[in-house]
Amino acid sequence: MRTIITSVVATAILIIAGSALAVEMPADVKAKCGACHAMDQKIIGPSFTEIAKKYKGDKDAAGKIIANVVKGGSFGWNLGSMPPKGLGASDAEVKSASEFITGLAK
């Protein structure tokens, strides 16, 4: 009996830990950016994980990403051109999305 309880608890902990690791895009980011960006795979634009890697260790990463998202265009990924502010993101959404991306760099 004790082993059953122990394994049930262990499984539950693994499930909780697993879902904490899979970071989801916040809903507003998904709405304004998700048509072209995914967390882990390239769609039209690079994945947010790849972008976070590009800026890893850069102290001014959030500032640079905000500036690029606001002006749009090409940033060296050779995937074409991004529309300024994606699909009509507000300044606050650009800021929170950019901070979300830099937060992915570990």
List residues forming the annotated binding site.
33, 37, 82
Q: Which of 23, 39, 70, 79 binds ligand HEC (CB under 6 A)?
A: 79
Q: Phi then psi for 46, rounded to 5 degrees? A: -65, 155
Q: Which of 61, 68, 76, 73 is nearest to 94 (CA)?
A: 68
Minimum distance of ligand HEC from residue 95's CB (angstroms): 10
Token reading at 22: 């899979």
Q: Which of 44, 63, 71, 91 binds ligand HEC (CB under 6 A)?
A: 44
Is the alpha carbon torsion for 92, 68, 101, 63 positive or negative? negative
Query: Binding residues for ligand HEC, per CB under 6 A?
Result: 32-33, 35-37, 44-46, 51, 54, 65, 68-69, 74-80, 82-83, 85-87, 89, 94, 97, 101
